[in-house]
Structure 1
Amino acid sequence: MPFALNFVHPVLMWVLLGLMLYSGYLGFKASQIRKVSPEERKAMVPLRYGPRHAQLGAVILGLTLLGAAGGLGATVLKNGKLILGPHLFAGLAVVVLVIATASLGPSLQKGKDWARSLHITLNGLVLVLFGWQAFTGIAIVQKLLDAGTAPA
């Protein structure tokens, strides 16, 4: 496997973490629309926080699945096997939680408060796990860099 391909997954995952944080911001702004005065609401609605949050959620779902598959594939190509450890298990948990939160979409569109609370809770857990995983991934990337610069 070409050396540069080792870094597609980590770069994609850092971009994905940024998109998740931005999506959280959009979701927060969308939730504020329900709590502000009619004048403020009139100014905020054209900014389309809710629709942009939902659209970005679909992109996040797709990139999460592609990134996870890419990370698994790259690991198998490089090592001939999966490396069982916290990074892998946290990644699988993130994938499951992202799918679960995306499945709440229809209930969210119907305005169900339980779905909103669960959506926020699951995404908070996703951010904690994914943020931790991003930092553990730095150690993995460092190992790849050290192995790639070691004399043959």
Structure 2
Amino acid sequence: MIINKLEFIKLWSQSIHPIVMFSTLLLLFYVSYLGFQLRYIRTSDKEVRKELINKKINNRHHQLGALLLNLIVLGNLGGMTITYINNDKLFFSPHLLIGLTITGLITISISLVPFMQKGNNLARNTHIVFNLCVVILFTWQVISGVEIVQKIIENIQ
């Protein structure tokens, strides 16, 4: 009876990571959109700037960016943990390496925020480039994750 419960938990734990990561991808697109809105505010005329500032895009970008950072880091750790629990090992694969790279890039990107707030344009441009890399790599990551999920489903049947 206990073995059946453990197998059930192992089976369903494998679906948590893909669901969280797909949701994270959608959030990543939205946070990126907000970031581009902030860039637009910075370069627009006074009237447009005043109207957009009232929408508090800056606050949403920072708050959802913090949530995004947590989801990516915890999703990475969770994915590795679930893989290890179910297979007694981690698979050294591009999916693992890109996941670790994404975690590093977004962590560095977020650490640039205090410099950006002081007006450092190099930090701002680096933040944008790193986050564009995160969007591209994370999109690839979700696609490669779908392939992994398909393999898991094939092994179940």
- TM-score normalised by structure 1 residue count: 0.94
Confirm or deny that 1:31 pairs with 2:29: no
Aligned to 2:4: none
SS in 1 for 2:54: helix
Query: Aligned partners of 1:123 and 1:110: how far apart in 2?
Result: 19
- Consecutive aligned runs of 4 or more in structure 1 exceeding 6 Å deviation: none
Aligned to 1:13: 21
SS in 2 for 1:82: coil
Confirm or deny that 1:68 pairs with 2:76: yes
Shift of 1:68: 0.6
Shift of 1:73: 0.4
Deviations 1:20-78 (A, max 9, x none): 11001001111111222211112111111122111111111111111011000000011
Count of aligned residue pairs for this structure pair: 149
Aligned to 2:141: 133
Aligned to 2:112: 104
CA root-mean-square deviation: 1.0
Mean CA deviation greater in 29-38 or 13-22: 29-38
Give the aligned residue type for 1:75. T
Query: Aligned partners of 1:112 and 1:139: how far apart in 2?
Result: 41
Shift of 1:107: 0.7
Shift of 1:94: 0.5
Question: Unaligned stretches of 5+ in structure 1?
Answer: none
Aligned to 1:54: 62
Give the aligned residue type for 2:19. V
